[in-house]
Structure 1
Amino acid sequence: MTTVPSPPDSLHARVPGSKSLTNRALLLAAAADGTSVLATPLISDDTMAFRRALGDLGARVQPSDDDGAWQVTGLGRGPKGTGRIWCADAGTAARFLPPLAAAGHGDFVFTGSDQLTARPVAPLADALRRLGAEVHTGPGGTLPLRVRAQGLDGGALEVDGSLSSQFLSGLLMAGPLLRGGLLLGVRELVSRPYVDMTLALMRHFGADVAENTPGEFAIRPTGYRAADLGVEPDASTASYFLAAAAVTGRTVTVRGLGRGSLQGDVRFAEVLERAGARVHRGEEAISVTGTGTLRGGFTVDMGDISDTFMTLAAIAPLADAPLTIRGIGHARLKESDRIEAVARNLRALGVRTDTGRDWITVHPGSTYPARIACHRDHRIAMAFSVLNLRTRNLTLDDPGCVAKTFPGFHEELHRLFPRHPLPALPARVSA
């Protein structure tokens, strides 16, 4: 196996495990027969909420004292019993776990924080009803979501994939648990790399799933079998450290994110390359080197990697020409209306910013001192922390919100770039 070596003066970022991989693998292991071992899982607010929710559904997740791995003893199909399932802020829990519950037998109520309750679940509830489940939602098609389950026969279903790929991933992962399997057609799919990740993990845990034609998935009722998995570093989180390299002129390497990564967000490095950074891609790592200039003057569609659009938008004032990011309308339905939240923060800095339904244009310019409104959104806090490496005039109103995916973010950014301030933070999540 050949690799492209990282430059000798590279800073090596310690990026924790992928949230997307951790939570998908947790669900699939919980639905399997037997015990699976997940190595290097992410320990954060979202993954701990997901883990506790699975425990409420009857799965057993046991952390190892030796190496931090998690042993997951599966249910062997869907859950049984009754329960009130607290999803906290975790959108994946609210989108992935109701289909799992519907494939089981019992009465389950899914609730969450005010932030999560503001996010829609009506499309998922409607899809489950069309498969034969009894599902009730709160006012406006939000949480709480109640599932009265007697298993699902399966069949053919068509869904709209334009709002969130998480709805589709939840239905796909439930497919092998249905009595007759599932033929799932999808219109206007966003964030396709996350669906590809879901399919790859399903197969890893023994599912028989095929894409007959683009957007039509056939899943046989095979159930799942236990399997071990090593969780890659989180590519979305890696984007902040790679962007930090681009804006500081340093080199940053993230080990564990090689060419074979399951995560689409590794493609953020290609966007940085287009903006003038040098990128080294190897079998086992990726490195980005800043060249002293951040190029603008182009438009990029980031619909498939929308979790990283804020990283680019936050550093765009440093570019030499305007940058336009398109295809991100679904980002308005995340932890915050991310397009609007980013635009308001940039305008508060004195940066000219234009927006539309699914796009944002950021113009270059100097910044005023400002307090960034994080909206309890981890990605806003992390993205603007990267900008602050250059501007040195920003503070965050909620620095601790990074615990959703990386409790140690500020410490790691400070380790690599000592001038990054260390804010006072609340107590961390523990395993």
Structure 2
Amino acid sequence: MTRAIRQATARVPGSKSVTARALLIAALADGTTRLREPLVAADTVAFAEGVASLGLPVTRDAGVWTVTGDPGGPSAAAATVWCHDSGTAARFLPALAALGRGEYVVDASAQMRARPMGPLLDALRQLGVGVQAQEGDRLPLVVRGGRVSGGTVRLDAGVSSQYLTALCLAAPAMEKGLRIEIEDIVSVPYVELTLAMMRDFGVDATWEGSTIVVPPGTYQAREYRIEADASTASYFFAAAAVTGNTVVVPGLGRHCVQGDLRFATEVLASMGCRVEVGADEVAVTGPERLRSPGEVVMRDISDTMMTLAAIAPYADAPVRITDVANCRVKESDRIDAITTALGVCGITTRTGPDWLEIEPGQPHGGVVETRADHRIAMSMSVTGLRAAGIELDDPSCVAKTFPGFHEEFAALRTAWARS
């Protein structure tokens, strides 16, 4: 008997990663840039407000954000840049502030104050930037902007590739450009995304071996469309995977610049899903029973680690996720957070410093501690598709990257039920 497959479309907002990079590039561009379909969420609004506080105007209208750039950097004589809970803003904006002509305080929430900043601060100091941290290598910071000559800098990006991206994005405004010698790195696709976007705006950096060279130059203002968020799309792809249905996500396609699309094209495909990548949409159809992919190395796509962990109980054998040590210093200790959440729902897990393993089983209801981490909330929502009674202690934390997540997820379930 042929299995009936139900199909529905999920609308995923613009990419957080692309929106943030585009905002910083536009802030240093010559002219006015229009960003179409940006992500409107707590993280990106915090980023836009931070750029504006540095004297680089950002106008936020429905569907379009307009940025008036200055290749010379921030013009404000003094400012307090409040990053809220945004790790991207807290890592990128100090590099932008360093190019300014004043003294700037960069601060954020208690959650962000707990996250390390050492490698970025060390790199800025190598470049002669005055940076003072009140708590060792943590926020709040005082950045004394000025003319940055550039040159050569060494950087450890083994905890976060955002340190590297911050330097790359700011480098064209430095007198000599920048040669970055990388000691270690995670999340390589995010750096490739950065360099690709820099090229889109007229600055062509080179990456050979462990060295990135960014020439001095000027970004050219333009109109730029933000593609859908591949990390957020992973929850909808995973929903299809565990229900055996089909989901179509517009705004992603074969020209997608985000590495996290590999969660669908590689990880879910290895679990028996049918994945179809079109010109401007991606469709995923789940199998009758998910196969275990065995061991999955997720160093480069670690933001989707919890998505895989959330559907792993429904696989036909244990799932082992490795090389994700950096997940312990995200919004939460994500290895501990997701395994604790699964444990509350009756699933057996094992963990180590940089790995976790999930046993197959049928989750039951329970109250999940989200730890103010949007990815815990969204991942465990997927688990709940086949487990009644899973509740989130703070469902509103999804506002960080997708304020309408729960409504869109509910609409997907309703569309499948009706089809």
Report if TM-score (shorter chain) is over 0.5. yes
Report the Cα distance in structure 1 between the residues aligned to 2:310 and 2:6, rounded to whole angstroms.
Answer: 26
TM-score where L is the length of structure 1: 0.93
Determine whether 1:111 maps to 2:107.
yes
Q: 2:44 aligns with which of 42, 47, 54?
A: 47
Report the Cα distance in structure 2 between the residues aligned to 1:95 and 1:54, rounded to whole angstroms.
Answer: 13
Report the Cα distance in structure 1 between the residues aligned to 2:97 and 2:287, rounded to whole angstroms.
Answer: 51
Q: 1:314 aligns with which of 310, 316, 330?
A: 310
The alpha-carbon deviation at position 366 of structure 1 amounts to 2.0
Report the Cα distance in structure 2 between the residues aligned to 1:316 and 1:254, rounded to whole angstroms.
Answer: 22
What amino acid does structure 1 have at the position aligned with 2:234?
A: S
Question: Higher mean Cα deviation, 299-308 or 68-77?
Answer: 68-77
Q: 1:267 aligns with which of 259, 262, 274?
A: 262
The alpha-carbon deviation at position 9 of structure 1 amounts to 5.2
The alpha-carbon deviation at position 260 of structure 1 amounts to 1.0
Q: Secondary structure at the match of 1:41?
A: coil
What amino acid does structure 2 have at the position aligned with 1:216?
A: T
Q: Which residue of 2 aligns with 1:427?
A: none
Checking the alignment, whether the CA contact within 8 Å between 1:122 and 1:137 is kept in structure 2 is no
The alpha-carbon deviation at position 33 of structure 1 amounts to 1.3
What amino acid does structure 2 have at the position aligned with 1:237?
A: T
Q: Which residue of 2 aligns with 1:390?
A: 386
Report the Cα distance in structure 1 between the residues aligned to 2:293 and 2:111, rounded to whole angstroms.
Answer: 35
Q: Supply the RMSD in Å over aligned alpha carbons.
A: 1.5
The alpha-carbon deviation at position 368 of structure 1 amounts to 3.0
Determine whether 1:253 maps to 2:252.
no
How many residues end up aligned between the 2 structures? 411
Checking the alignment, whether the CA contact within 8 Å between 1:22 and 1:41 is kept in structure 2 is yes
Q: 1:340 aligns with which of 321, 333, 336?
A: 336
Matches within 5 A, 1:21-60: 21-60=18-57
The alpha-carbon deviation at position 8 of structure 1 amounts to 9.6
Q: Which residue of 1 aligns with 2:116?
A: 120
Q: 1:13 aligns with which of 10, 13, 20?
A: 10
Q: Which residue of 2 aligns with 1:135?
A: 131
Q: Secondary structure at the match of 2:356?
A: strand
Report the Cα distance in structure 1 between the residues aligned to 2:151 and 2:293, rounded to whole angstroms.
Answer: 48
The alpha-carbon deviation at position 415 of structure 1 amounts to 0.5
Question: Higher mean Cα deviation, 229-238 or 362-371?
Answer: 362-371
Report the Cα distance in structure 2 between the residues aligned to 1:267 and 1:255, rounded to whole angstroms.
Answer: 16
The alpha-carbon deviation at position 279 of structure 1 amounts to 1.0
Matches within 5 A, 1:281-360: 281-296=277-292, 298-360=294-356
Report the Cα distance in structure 1 between the residues aligned to 2:146 and 2:407, rounded to whole angstroms.
Answer: 48
Determine whether 1:72 maps to 2:67.
yes
Determine whether 1:228 maps to 2:188.
no
Report the Cα distance in structure 1 between the residues aligned to 2:127 and 2:386, rounded to whole angstroms.
Answer: 52
Determine whether 1:166 maps to 2:162.
yes
Report the Cα distance in structure 1 between the residues aligned to 2:34 and 2:286, rounded to whole angstroms.
Answer: 38
Report the Cα distance in structure 1 between the residues aligned to 2:60 and 2:97, rounded to whole angstroms.
Answer: 24
The alpha-carbon deviation at position 76 of structure 1 amounts to 2.4
Q: 2:58 aligns with which of 50, 56, 61?
A: 61
Q: Secondary structure at the match of 2:414?
A: coil
Q: Secondary structure at the match of 1:218?
A: strand
Q: Which residue of 2 aligns with 1:425?
A: none
Checking the alignment, whether the CA contact within 8 Å between 1:165 and 1:195 is kept in structure 2 is yes
Q: Which residue of 2 aligns with 1:401?
A: 397
Checking the alignment, whether the CA contact within 8 Å between 1:389 and 1:419 is kept in structure 2 is no
Checking the alignment, whether the CA contact within 8 Å between 1:249 and 1:289 is kept in structure 2 is yes
Q: Which residue of 1 aligns with 2:273?
A: 277
Q: 1:201 to 1:175 in 2, by over 3 A?
A: same
Determine whether 1:363 maps to 2:355.
no
CA offset digits 1:7-46 (Å, max 9, x no partner): 9953111000000000100110011110001000000000
Determine whether 1:185 maps to 2:181.
yes
Q: 1:99 aligns with which of 95, 99, 117?
A: 95
Report the Cα distance in structure 1 between the residues aligned to 2:415 and 2:371, rounded to whole angstroms.
Answer: 25
Report the Cα distance in structure 2 between the residues aligned to 1:121 and 1:237, rounded to whole angstroms.
Answer: 25
Unaligned ranges ≥5, structure 2: none
Checking the alignment, whether the CA contact within 8 Å between 1:49 and 1:87 is kept in structure 2 is yes
Q: Secondary structure at the match of 1:280?
A: strand
CA offset digits 1:367-387 (Å, max 9, x no partner): 232100100000000000001
Q: Which residue of 1 aligns with 2:413?
A: 417
Report the Cα distance in structure 2 between the residues aligned to 1:287 and 1:188, rounded to whole angstroms.
Answer: 35
What amino acid does structure 2 have at the position aligned with 1:55?
A: A
Unaligned ranges ≥5, structure 1: 1-6, 421-431
CA offset digits 1:308-352 (Å, max 9, x no partner): 010010111111100001111111111001011111111122211
Report the Cα distance in structure 2 between the residues aligned to 1:122 and 1:145, rounded to whole angstroms.
Answer: 11
Report the Cα distance in structure 2 between the residues aligned to 1:267 and 1:419, rounded to whole angstroms.
Answer: 26
Q: Secondary structure at the match of 1:288?
A: strand
Checking the alignment, whether the CA contact within 8 Å between 2:195 and 2:204 is kept in structure 1 is no
Q: 2:233 aligns with which of 223, 233, 238?
A: 238
Report the Cα distance in structure 2 between the residues aligned to 1:368 and 1:327, rounded to whole angstroms.
Answer: 29
What amino acid does structure 1 have at the position aligned with 2:41?
A: S
Q: Which residue of 2 aligns with 1:376?
A: 372
Checking the alignment, whether the CA contact within 8 Å between 1:32 and 1:77 is kept in structure 2 is no
Report the Cα distance in structure 2 between the residues aligned to 1:172 and 1:64, rounded to whole angstroms.
Answer: 28
Q: Secondary structure at the match of 2:213?
A: strand
TM-score where L is the length of structure 2: 0.96
Q: Which residue of 2 aligns with 1:203?
A: 199
Give the ranges of 4+ consecutive aligned residues of structure 1 lying more than 6 Å apart after TM superposition: none
